[in-house]
Chains A and B, each alone.
Chain A
Amino acid sequence: MSAIKAKHQRLVLLVIALVALVGAGLLAAWALRNQAAYFYVPSDLVARPPEPGRAVRLGGMVEKGSIRRAADGVTIDFVVGDGKARVPVRFTGITPDLFVEGSGVVAEGRMEGPTFVADNLLAKHDEKYVPREMKDMTASQAKQVVAETK
């Protein structure tokens, strides 16, 4: 293979770079359509449920008196609600420190049958760290939920 002409070299490099970047962009767009986890509040989740097994996030209030601990000591069942709908959630693991009844939570996981199985729970950490979805929720829907549950 001989060295290409100088005039063409810049062009070839430019084309390679563009092809790679466009390729990366298309790949990203395609993967994001399939892999991004959508955020649901309970009423959305009930109204138009995601396909089973698809990774999604569920945000809402942990209903008062709903936390049940299973016999193995590490699995809990609870209900997340937004005042309009209620979704049963199961989580196996160590709950975050600020995970309490009547407080907001974002659960990452998937629907399995009627139950939302969570891999991870995000609770309000402190005043300066609130999951973004929960911040909006506490502004709009959560007020009445808190009023109802307290």
Chain B
Amino acid sequence: MIAELGLAVLWMAAALAVLQLVSGILALRPEGRQIAGLVRPVAVMQGVLVAAAFAALITLFLTTDLSVKLVAENSHSMKPFIFKLAGTWGNHEGSMLLWVTIMAVAGGFVALVEKRLPENTLIATLAGQAFVSLGFYAFLLLSSNPFERLAEPAPEGAGLNPLLQDVGLAFHPPTLYVGYVGLSIAFSFAIGALVTRDVGPAFARAMRPWVLGAWIFLTLGITAGSYWAYYTLGWGGWWFWDPVENASLMPWLAATALLHSCSVLASRNALKAWTVMLGVIAFSMSMVGTFLVRSGILTSVHAFAVDPERGSFILALLAIYIGGALTLFALRASTVTEGARFSFVSREAALVFNNVMLCGILGIVLVGTLYPLLTEAMGVKVSVGPPYFNPVSAVFAIPMMLVMGVGPLLRWRQDSFEGKRGGRITLPVGLCALLSAAVLFGVELMAPRIGLLPALGLAIAAGLAPASFLPLRGRNLRRTPLSIWGMVLGHFGIAVALFGMASESAFSTERLAAMRPGDVRQVGPYTVKLEGIGPVAGPNWTALEATVSASYEGAAPAILHPQARTFSNPPGNRTESALKTRWNGQLYAVLGEEGEDGRWQMRFWWKPFVPMIWYGGALIALGGLLALLGRVAADVRRLVATGKIAYRRSRKAALGARP
């Protein structure tokens, strides 16, 4: 019953999306003025209905209704509650329903609260949003119905991939999805603005909070995904340049560029066409990522099922939306008026530099990710990994981070490095650069065998960390707007994460050994001892668990428990690494298998300052959150103020009307 209800509600929502699109298009014509009032409520209602459909699917998973095909294939009655819940989106159909849900709910939210945009642009935006959703509704309803029943209920479910049975991963996909799909709002805003030819500061100010919101979720999702890969794969790495990781990185790069160009458009009415273009690109990257992941054309843990029909469907959607948006852009870009001028030394110029470099990295990642597909079409199989991505993206990332130290200090429009004003910039920035140079020199002197990239990373992080606080100089800290704090924290987060990455690749030490209980090994500053190995059991797994005592430079030992888990439903194995975190790094322990001679394979890493990578990621997201709060608070204050003025006027008018 719930399944049928869910499907019916989903169809109704799809019908409302059609209505939203048609009424939106009609309302933009002079003769269709009357139905303009229809668009907003329809968008809100569509969001409510899809949310209900998604709630229905969650209910089916929580009650483990095995007569539903999707539940039978991806869940199991004995699974812990949290993984029953996560099972809802841990499969192709459910994750597409989640996609549509977020898209429609975001659209409804825009319809409900967005008051700054001219009504026409907003209607065009909502019509655009409906147009994009429709493709995904069609995909969901025609080729991947999540509510499909089985002719006979299954006796028991097939379970969830053991790799995915992890609490961190339960909330990783929804976080990323909010980010991916949140960018659809930027896409629709861009289309709306192109349709009404209304690209200006008001448009940028209206779009900015949505981009910021999506960007925060993307940042958190990528950070969490990286940590998940780090501790569940047991390989000790935190980023593998896997197609799926790239699929999440590409929208982030585009959204980061968009965020910065938005602030130019909002403050200075420049970079108009550019910002619109980035709005289109950002969501296009989300869709490309989804296509790569969902079609199964690239190998990945995340490719749920390889189904050529689905792949071609998403490819068709991709062609329609990206092609359509680019065509619209080509037709309308010339009618978007010229932006305001700025000089080579100005904040705009620094932000243009940032944008170009981010787009360069985006291009590098995109080409590297698609290259194996390209060569395979010609019959050659290749894979592209860190030896390509690391140095080539650094070519763009390093200049960008250097400019990042100066850019926020520059004035809008025109600035100078000369004279008294210039001294206020060049002096502190020069000190930071000096610090960078000293660190680079020190690293090369003390540890000449460190590669060039990690050494440069350490040096830039050392200079960028203090430089990111320079915008606060000469400001009253209590009166500094939240958005400035957000920028400072975000840039500082980049420096922190960069430090973690560089330190990890420069100073990690690894120890691989076959050990008997009682054996002692040295790894970095740690002395590790294998105390023993024994069996343990969890709700749906059994495991062999090693007890390892690890003593940091002779201090009282800490106990670690790395496991090799065996899952029953579905059958599978997973290593569960054990971590010991200190302020200056992490000890990472993995248990392997037992050899014929009774020795156990153990692998240890000492990774100095590696947690900084994820602390940095969290700081970046926190910076985004502060900026978002600052923007939203300012908007609310403005709304309240205009409300008060209107009220006073009406009072005055009423008083004046009295004789």
Residues of A within 8 A of B (CB): 1-7, 9-10, 13, 16-17, 20-21, 23-25, 27-29, 31-32, 35-39, 55, 57, 69, 72-74, 92-95, 97-98, 108, 120, 125-133, 135
* B391 touches A (CB below 8 Å): yes
Q: Give the distance to chain A from B292, nearest Cβ to Cβ, in Å.
A: 12
The reply to whether B599 and A55 form a contact with Cβ atoms under 8 Å apart is no
Query: Given contacts A31-B388, A36-B384, is CB(A4)–CB(B341) below 8 Å?
Result: yes
Interface-central residue, A3, A108, A135, by most chain B CB under 10 Å: A3
Q: Which 8 A-B pairs have the closest CB atoms?
A: A73-B514, A39-B381, A94-B592, A97-B573, A35-B388, A132-B299, A36-B382, A24-B363
Q: Give the distance to chain A from B588, nearest Cβ to Cβ, in Å.
A: 13
B residues 327-379 touching A (CB-CB < 8 Å)? 338-339, 341-345, 352, 356-357, 359-360, 363-364, 367-368, 371-372, 375
Q: Give the distance to chain B from A123, nearest Cβ to Cβ, in Å.
A: 10
Assembled-state Cα–Cα distance A15/B572 (Å): 54
* B2 touches A (CB below 8 Å): no
CB contact between B382 and one of A1, A38, A93 (< 8 Å): that residue: A38
The reply to whether A125 and B592 form a contact with Cβ atoms under 8 Å apart is no
Residues of B within 8 A of A (CB): 161-163, 234-235, 271, 273-274, 298-301, 303-306, 338-339, 341-345, 352, 356-357, 359-360, 363-364, 367-368, 371-372, 375, 380-385, 387-388, 391-392, 395-396, 413-414, 512-514, 564, 570, 572-575, 590, 592-593, 595-597, 599, 601, 603
Please give, as numbers and ranges, the residues of chain A lying within 8 Å of B162 by CB-CB distance. 126
Interface-central residue, A2, A25, A120, A125, by most chain B CB under 10 Å: A125
Please give, as numbers and ranges, the residues of chain A lying within 8 Å of B388 by CB-CB distance. 31-32, 35-36
Please give, as numbers and ranges, the residues of chain B lying within 8 Å of A6 by CB-CB distance. 338, 341
Please give, as numbers and ranges, the residues of chain B lying within 8 Å of A127 by CB-CB distance. 570
Q: Give the distance to chain B from A95, nearest Cβ to Cβ, in Å.
A: 7
Please give, as numbers and ranges, the residues of chain A lying within 8 Å of B592 by CB-CB distance. 74, 94-95
The reply to whether B601 and A73 form a contact with Cβ atoms under 8 Å apart is yes
Q: Give the distance to chain A from B446, nearest Cβ to Cβ, in Å.
A: 28
CB contact between B601 and one of A28, A94, A126 (< 8 Å): that residue: A94
CB contact between B384 and one of A27, A35, A93, A131 (< 8 Å): that residue: A35
Please give, as numbers and ranges, the residues of chain A lying within 8 Å of B339 by CB-CB distance. 9-10
Please give, as numbers and ranges, the residues of chain B lying within 8 Å of A5 by CB-CB distance. 341
Query: Given contacts A32-B368, A38-B380, A72-B514, is CB(A16)–CB(B356) below 8 Å?
Result: yes
The reply to whether A7 and B383 form a contact with Cβ atoms under 8 Å apart is no
Please give, as numbers and ranges, the residues of chain A lying within 8 Å of B300 by CB-CB distance. 129
The reply to whether A93 and B371 form a contact with Cβ atoms under 8 Å apart is no
Q: Give the distance to chain A from B141, nearest Cβ to Cβ, in Å.
A: 24
Task: Identify the closest chain B residue to A129 (Cβ).
Answer: B301
The reply to whether A36 and B371 form a contact with Cβ atoms under 8 Å apart is yes
Q: Give the distance to chain B from A99, nearest Cβ to Cβ, in Å.
A: 10
The reply to whether A24 and B301 form a contact with Cβ atoms under 8 Å apart is no
Q: Give the distance to chain A from B516, nearest Cβ to Cβ, in Å.
A: 10
**14 A–B contacts, CB within 8 A, in A order:** A2-B343, A24-B360, A27-B395, A28-B367, A31-B388, A32-B388, A35-B388, A36-B383, A39-B383, A69-B595, A74-B514, A126-B161, A128-B304, A129-B163
Query: Given contacts A6-B338, A7-B338, A35-B384, is CB(A21)–CB(B363) below 8 Å?
Result: yes
The reply to whether B299 and A35 form a contact with Cβ atoms under 8 Å apart is no
Assembled-state Cα–Cα distance A108/B575 (Å): 20
Task: Identify the closest chain B residue to A131 (Cβ).
Answer: B299
The reply to whether A57 and B304 form a contact with Cβ atoms under 8 Å apart is no
The reply to whether A20 and B368 form a contact with Cβ atoms under 8 Å apart is no
The reply to whether B382 and A37 form a contact with Cβ atoms under 8 Å apart is yes
Please give, as numbers and ranges, the residues of chain B lying within 8 Å of A2 by CB-CB distance. 343
Task: Identify the closest chain B residue to A10 (Cβ).
Answer: B338
Please give, as numbers and ranges, the residues of chain A lying within 8 Å of B364 by CB-CB distance. 24, 27-28
Query: Given contacts A17-B359, A39-B381, is CB(A32)–CB(B371) below 8 Å?
Result: yes
Q: Give the distance to chain B from A28, nearest Cβ to Cβ, in Å.
A: 4
Task: Identify the closest chain A residue to B301 (Cβ).
Answer: A129
The reply to whether A74 and B513 form a contact with Cβ atoms under 8 Å apart is yes
The reply to whether A129 and B303 form a contact with Cβ atoms under 8 Å apart is yes
Q: Give the distance to chain B from A42, nearest Cβ to Cβ, in Å.
A: 14
Assembled-state Cα–Cα distance A7/B339 (Å): 10
CB contact between B513 and one of A1, A28, A73 (< 8 Å): that residue: A73
Query: Given contacts A28-B368, A132-B298, is CB(A13)–CB(B363) below 8 Å?
Result: no
The reply to whether B601 and A37 form a contact with Cβ atoms under 8 Å apart is no
Q: Give the distance to chain B from A3, nearest Cβ to Cβ, in Å.
A: 5
